Structures are given as structure tokens and as C-alpha cells.
Structure 1
Amino acid sequence: MDNILFSRRRAERFAQLLDEANGGRRHHVRSRADGQLAPLVAVGQRLSVDPPAVEVDPDFRTGLRAMLLATAVREGLGTTPPAGEPATARPTATTRGSLLPAVTARRARARGAILIGIAAGAIAVSGISAASENAVPGDALYGMKRSTERAQLALASSDISRGQLFLDFARTRLGEAAELRGDRIGYSAVLDDMDADTRQGVRLLTAAAVQRAEPASLDTVNTFVAGQSRAVGNLLDGATRADRERTRRSLVLLDSIRERSDALRAAIACGLPAPAASDALGPAPSACPGTR
């Protein structure tokens, strides 16, 4: 399983990064997972420095405690090896004293990182999200809102999940834009972020569709484009001239995505090989033989 939180090696690296972020000894190593883990470490630091004033629902607190305890039991945290464990699996008497503390500490760190990751993920999608979900650029909690989104991306287990998250974030940016109409700079900046999230999500999903040679991910793209186009079009009502011009650019992008999705669907249907070329929207297919 390639989930970033439940790979033992990545969990150990997560523990190291948390130690370093809190002033611990630097390990002077790099991992390919560092870029994905960095948003979670940042959220952990922000939570410790500036915890949000959110009242956690008692039912959520109880459920989270039960989940963590169940994970601890499943992972063997705090338990001793069974008495009948084979001798070959144990350190020899001469090395036990030197190896056991290091092995135990490493396993405890990894398991602790897993539990911390579970807790961070649960908090990121509950209390913090509840406090900041209505924040817009300029609000005190907006930075926390964006950090929570980055943490959700780090928790995603596949490119398809990340692509769907980016599209969800694009919908969120659209809601923020509706609150900022009339603020030319703020409105344009939020739509820039919305379009960037849209491209990121579409690129991941179209690439997944081509790699798997099946259009399920394209269905997600088409559903997003249909709903988003209607919602973006609604921003034109009563908008200033500058806002209308900026809004139309986002509508053009959505039209381009619809055309790309249709072209990829046709290419998959007629069995064309995976395109070698790609752009901001992902693979750029050729036309099927016999079509214009």
C-alpha cells in the first residue's frame, strides 16, 4: 500500500521531520517523500504555535480516541513480544543490550508518526476546516484554510484522489470569488488560483485516464466542467466590466477542458496509443483515423 501515512519508511521519515521541526537533531538525509510530507509538518508546526480556537464536538473526540486506540492495539504499540517468539527473530544475548533500545525507539517513532498522521488528518478535515471553511483572502484563518488543503493533498493516496481534490479546491475558490466581486485585485487573484487548481486536477485525471485506457476519470472531469461552467457563468450577472473580462477567461479554460476530455475519450475508444505530447491539461491526443 502506497499511502503516504501508512508506509513504514515514510512514517519514519515523517517522525524525523517532526523532530527536526521541533528543534531536534538534523539527520542530514533527503527522501523523495519530503515534498509530500512538508505540508503536514507545516500544519503540525502551525497547530503548535497558533492553535485554532475551535470547540471540538464531543462525539468526534470520542470517535477519534477510539480510532487511535484501535490503531495502537493493531500496531502493537506498548505491547511486548509473545513468549513463544522464535529465537532466530530475537537479538542474541551479546547484542540485545545495544540493539534493542535503538530498534524499539525506531519502531515507536514510526508508530507514533502513524498515530500523529491519523490525528493530523482527522483534525485537518474536522475542527480546522470547520473554523476556516468560510474564510476568504484577507481573513485571519485563510492561511490555515490553504494549509489544510495542502495537508489533504499530502494524505491523498493516488493521483486520481489528488486530481479530485484539486477540482474540489477549484470549486472552493469559486465560492471565494463570489464573495470578492467588486474587489478587482482580490477577485482576479482568486480566479487565478481557481484556474491553477483546475489545471492541476484535470492534468492528473486525464493522465490517469490515458494510463489506464479507460474513461472513468474523464467522467469526473466532465461532471466538474458542467457544474463549474454554470457557476462561473453566474458570476457575470451584475459584474463590473473588469470582472466580466476576467470571468470569461475562466470560462474559456473550461471550454478547452471539455474539448480535451472529449478528444481523449475518442482516442481511448478507438485504441490510439498513449500520446507522447502533453501540456497544461495533460495528454494531447491525435485524432482517430478517419476523423477530422
Structure 2
Amino acid sequence: MDNALFSRRRAERFAQLLDEANGGRRHHVRSRDDDQLAPLVTLGRRLGTNPPIAEVNPEFRTGLRAMLLATAAREGVGAATAGRPAEKAGSGRGSLLPAVTARRARARGAILVGIAAGAVAVSGISAASENAVPGDALYGMKRGTERAQLALTGSDISRGQLFLDFARTRLAEASSLRGGRTGYSGVLDDMDADTRQGVRLLTGAAAQRSDAAALVAVDAFLTEQRRSLNALLDSGSRTDRVRTTESLTLLESVAKRADAMRAAIACGQHLTVTSDALGPIPAACS
């Protein structure tokens, strides 16, 4: 979305149009932005009249709520006015400030409501895109939802586990692309990239904390992913089988790195001297 669309001036005009559309006082002004904002006003009214029914992922809801609360705190939406010095009676500036502040608060509130309503609507589309594969109309939405999940995830361990979940998803997509459908190799490329990202974050967290607990997720991932990849070797073209073997080779490298990391932590080796795509390279125990 174009950031200029919700500049302060347009946001205030958007709030006015929403008020008018819902039966509020008409402001008898015309803005050059009205034509661009009209579809958004129509969408806002439809969402208010017939809100979309969708099951929102609890983790997504929690992350969205935290983001909205942080935005509200930063922008001053809903901030208490207690403790502010009172304006002098009869002051022209003092009489204007409450109205201006209220108008800006309504504009900011309208933006937040729009974000929340849009997120609920998008969550319904996201649920419908869960089974999409490359080439499907909703596949872009599916990948966009994954990027949003990463943006709402804080710790390296959580992000690493999420990347490994995405690698599992890519493997499920690859399984559905067998039998001559194009895109198999590309999906495995994405799967391997997610695998490297997830392993790098988890081994990095293990090295930083000198704690092998983060490697448990790597071990579980390896067990499941190896089994599923080996099943793909029994079918598909020769090119697909060669590409599958490359992903299995990557998993072997991940297993060796996890074992070396666990051994280095056990003997107290320094773990952060060098690194590669899979994270820190542990030194051999002396």
C-alpha cells in the first residue's frame, strides 16, 4: 500500500468521509483525494455492515494486538488528558486545540480500525490459501502471510522454528507437484533456503547461550524431513530425483553441524569464531 495514501491530511479527510457515510455531519468541503478515498469508504461501510467471518490464528491475533497497541501508544491515540495544563479561558488557540486533537485522534483511530478490519479480511483469504501451490492464484497470499508471521516473531529461536515450519510446508508443496507438474525444483530451492535460515538461527542461539536446547527443534525437523524426502525418491523424473538427493545431502550437513555443536557445548568450546550458511562452526573438542 502506498504510504502517501494515509498521510495526515488524507487520514483526516478519510475520517470525515467515514463520519458522513455513517450519517454524521456533512463538512461541505471537497478534496482532490475524495475520488481515491471513496472505494476505501465503501469498503469500510461494507466491513461494518457485514463483517467477514473468519477464524484468526491466535498467534496472529496476539501479534496484531501488540502492534496496534504499540502504534496507539506511539501516536497518542486514547492518551489521557489528565495532568495537562489547562488552556486559558477565552484563548483562541486554547479553544481550537481540543477540536484539532479530537479530529486527529479520530483520523488515527480510523486508520487503526482500517488496519484491524483489513487484517481480519486478509486472515480469511490466508486460511483459504493454506493449500495453495506454485501456480495457484492464492500462492502469493500464502507466502505473504508467512512473511507477516516472521515480522511478528521476536526471538531468534521462534524465528528459526518458523523457518523450519516453512521448509516443511515447501516439502508438502513439492510432494503435490510430482507427476510432471513444473515448479518442483524451485520449491525445493525455497525449502533448502528456509532450512538454512532456520538452522542458522537455532545454532546461533545455541552458541550464544551455550545451551543445546535450541537444537532439539533441529533434530525433530531432521527426522520428519528425511522421511518425507526419501519417500519422494521413489517417483518422479530422473531430474526430480537428482534434485531431491541434493536436499537430502543438505540435511546430512545439518545433522553433522547439530552433532558438532552439541559436542562443543558439552566440552565448553568457544563457538562463535567462524560461521557459514548453517550458523557457527564449532571447533573440535580438545
Name the TM-score, length of structure 2 as normaliser.
0.67
CA contact (8 A) 2:163 2:195 kept: yes
| 2-structure distance, mates of 1:264, 1:117 | 43
Aligned pair partner of 2:236 in 228, 235, 239: 239
CA contact (8 A) 1:184 1:243 kept: no
- TM-superposed CA distance for 1:128, in Å, is 2.4
2:253 paired residue number: 256
Distance 1:23 1:79, change over 3 A: closer
Map Cα deviations across residues 108-132 of structure 1 (whole Å, 9 max, x no partner): 77777776666666665x4122211
Among all aligned residue pairs of Structure 1 and Structure 2, give the percentage whose two residues are the same amino acid.
51
Displacement over 2 Å in runs of 4+: 17-20, 22-26, 55-60, 75-82, 89-124, 182-185
| 2-structure distance, mates of 1:113, 1:160 | 33
1:277 paired residue number: 274
Aligned pair partner of 2:202 in 197, 200, 205: 205
Distance 1:216 1:259, change over 3 A: same
1:1-292 aligned within 5 A:
19-20=3-4, 22=5, 24=7, 56-57=52-53, 81=80, 85-86=82-83, 89-90=84-85, 93=88, 126-183=123-180, 185-289=182-286
CA contact (8 A) 2:54 2:121 kept: no
CA contact (8 A) 2:153 2:159 kept: yes
| 2-structure distance, mates of 1:249, 1:162 | 25
Q: Which sits farther off after the overlay, 266-275 or 251-260? A: 266-275
CA contact (8 A) 1:121 1:152 kept: no
Structure 1 or 2, whichever has the larger Rg, is: 2
- Alignment coverage as a number of residue pairs: 232
Name the TM-score, length of structure 1 as normaliser.
0.66
Amino acid across the alignment from 1:81: A
Map Cα deviations across residues 47-79 of structure 1 (whole Å, 9 max, x no partner): x8xx9xxx954776xxx8xx97xx88xx79975
CA contact (8 A) 1:136 1:142 kept: yes
- TM-superposed CA distance for 1:184, in Å, is 6.8
1:5 paired residue number: none
The alignment yields a C-alpha RMSD, in angstroms, of 3.7
| 1-structure distance, mates of 2:232, 2:282 | 32
- TM-superposed CA distance for 1:233, in Å, is 0.8
| 1-structure distance, mates of 2:266, 2:102 | 54
2:20 paired residue number: none
Distance 1:104 1:57, change over 3 A: closer
CA contact (8 A) 2:150 2:162 kept: yes
* SS of structure 1 residue aligned to 2:183: helix
| 2-structure distance, mates of 1:81, 1:171 | 47
| 2-structure distance, mates of 1:143, 1:212 | 36
Distance 1:80 1:283, change over 3 A: closer
| 2-structure distance, mates of 1:123, 1:131 | 11
Distance 1:276 1:139, change over 3 A: same
| 2-structure distance, mates of 1:203, 1:288 | 21
Map Cα deviations across residues 180-227 of structure 1 (whole Å, 9 max, x no partner): 113375110110010011111111111111111111111011111111
Structure with more contact order per residue of length (Cα contacts < 8 Å, sep ≥ 6): 1
Amino acid across the alignment from 1:24: S
- TM-superposed CA distance for 1:270, in Å, is 1.1
Distance 1:131 1:285, change over 3 A: same
Distance 1:262 1:90, change over 3 A: farther
| 2-structure distance, mates of 1:102, 1:278 | 55
| 2-structure distance, mates of 1:18, 1:166 | 28
| 1-structure distance, mates of 2:271, 2:179 | 44
